[in-house]
A and B are shown apart, each in its own frame.
Chain A
Amino acid sequence: MEHAETHGHIIPYQTFAFVWLILVALTAILVFTARVYHEALSVYAMLVITPLKAGLVFYYFMHLKYEKPFLKFLVLITLALLILFIGFIFLDLSYR
């Protein structure tokens, strides 16, 4: 009834288990590249894998995939703002 409409979608247990497996695998890759190859590769692995892991948690564990576009938009704005700040910091540092 009312609840079914306002309280969205039930995510199957298997989906969570699958996302968890991917998260653990990504962590393993991250640690492996950081420990084995020291240079550029590990930095790129970090910059790609870490936001990817956070994205998976947001999207599936935190149900963001099934939320209304408005909430997705708010999350996007917040993260974009933070990335912009970090970008400005590096811009400032590189022209000192």
Chain B
Amino acid sequence: MSTVAPAAPHAVHKDYEGAKLGMWLFLFTEILLFGGLFILYSAYWAKYTIDFHNSGKMLNVFIGVMNTFILLTSSMTVAISISAMQKGNRKLTMMCLAITILFGLAFLVNKYIEWSGEIGEGRYPNSAHLLKRPYGEQLFFGLYYSMTGLHGLHVIVGITVLSFMLYFVARNKITSAEYTKLENAGLYWHLVDVIWIFLLPLFYLSA
């Protein structure tokens, strides 16, 4: 400790700022990916406002709001897990990560119940029932399945990434001195939450 030069040759160079910046750049591409779909939604909403309004009424608002609550809470627990890691509280970090993963799974179970209900009512792309409905309603449900479906895929990826983080914390690969992976995984999960914040009013509250 006493005689080590500032830049010892064996020291591994870690660029925390660069890692975080890289993660944010990836998040920007995600924002623009969903942004493109939001633009598509806006354009069709402007053209078929009444149809979109009527379609929104058919969706299950209760499940939509419950899933919002689930994602907001899971966003808080993942944020707490990072503060806990910074303070060196491994137990709390692991507990919060496990809760976040469970919330993510609960979100998917709700999504399954919700989609099953919609499909049971005959509202899915190209269904005989939907093809008889006004064109705007067909577009609404097309956008509904593609946007919430793409978001659902992100939830699955997020759960997978967070499960790896839980494993890394358990194996001491993430510590209070080196937790950049955990921070970046957290950033991803928060973005998944932010996207849902926008999906809620667009689909469920548009009625």
Question: How many angstroms between the C-alpha atoms of A86 and B25 in the bound complex?
Answer: 21
| A-B contact number at CB 8 A | 111
Q: How large is the interface on B (under 10, 10 to 19, 20 to 34, 35 or more residues)?
A: 35 or more
Question: How many angstroms between the C-alpha atoms of A90 and B49 in the bound complex?
Answer: 13
Binding site for B on A (CB under 8 A): 3, 6-7, 10-13, 16-17, 19-20, 23-24, 27, 30-31, 34-35, 42, 46, 50, 53-54, 57-58, 60-63, 67-68, 71, 74-75, 78-79, 81-82, 85-86, 89-90, 93
Whether the pair B205, A78 counts as a contact (CB closer than 8 A) is no
Question: How many angstroms between the C-alpha atoms of A89 and B207 in the bound complex?
Answer: 22
Whether the pair B39, A89 counts as a contact (CB closer than 8 A) is yes
Q: A7-B16, A7-B179 are in contact. Are A27 and B68 (CB under 8 A)?
A: yes
Question: How many angstroms between the C-alpha atoms of A24 and B47 in the bound complex?
Answer: 32
Q: A10-B87, A53-B197, A78-B28 are in contact. Are A93 and B46 (CB under 8 A)?
A: yes
Which 8 residue pairs of A and B lie closest in terms of their CB atoms, listed nearest first?
A34-B205, A20-B76, A82-B35, A6-B16, A10-B86, A46-B201, A61-B79, A78-B28
Question: How many angstroms between the C-alpha atoms of A82 and B28 in the bound complex?
Answer: 10
Whether the pair A89, B43 counts as a contact (CB closer than 8 A) is yes
Interface of B is mostly: helix
Whole-angstrom distance between the Cβ of A67 and the nearest chain B Cβ:
8
Whether the pair A89, B42 counts as a contact (CB closer than 8 A) is yes
Whether the pair A86, B39 counts as a contact (CB closer than 8 A) is yes
Q: A31-B65, A93-B46 are in contact. Are A85 and B86 (CB under 8 A)?
A: no
Question: How many angstroms between the C-alpha atoms of A21 and B83 in the bound complex?
Answer: 18
Question: How many angstroms between the C-alpha atoms of A27 and B68 in the bound complex?
Answer: 8
* A55 and chain B: residue at smallest CB distance: B194
* A7 and chain B: residue at smallest CB distance: B16
Question: How many angstroms between the C-alpha atoms of A10 and B83 in the bound complex?
Answer: 6
Picked from B61, B83, B180, B197, the residue with its CB within 8 Å of the CB of A35 is: B61
B51 interfacial by beta-carbon distance below 8 Å: no
Whether the pair A27, B61 counts as a contact (CB closer than 8 A) is no
A3, A30, A54, A61: residue with the most chain B Cβ atoms closer than 10 Å: A61
* B187 and chain A: residue at smallest CB distance: A62
Whether the pair A20, B73 counts as a contact (CB closer than 8 A) is yes
Whether the pair B83, A11 counts as a contact (CB closer than 8 A) is yes
Whole-angstrom distance between the Cβ of B122 and the nearest chain A Cβ:
26
B123 interfacial by beta-carbon distance below 8 Å: no
Residue-wise interface mask of B (175-200) relative to A, using a CB-CB cutoff of 8 A (1 in contact, 0 not): 00111100100110011011001101
Question: How many angstroms between the C-alpha atoms of A17 and B73 in the bound complex?
Answer: 9
B25, B31, B61, B76: residue with the most chain A Cβ atoms closer than 10 Å: B76
Whole-angstrom distance between the Cβ of A57 and the nearest chain B Cβ:
5
B24 interfacial by beta-carbon distance below 8 Å: yes
Picked from A17, A74, A75, the residue with its CB within 8 Å of the CB of B76 is: A17
Whether the pair A86, B38 counts as a contact (CB closer than 8 A) is yes
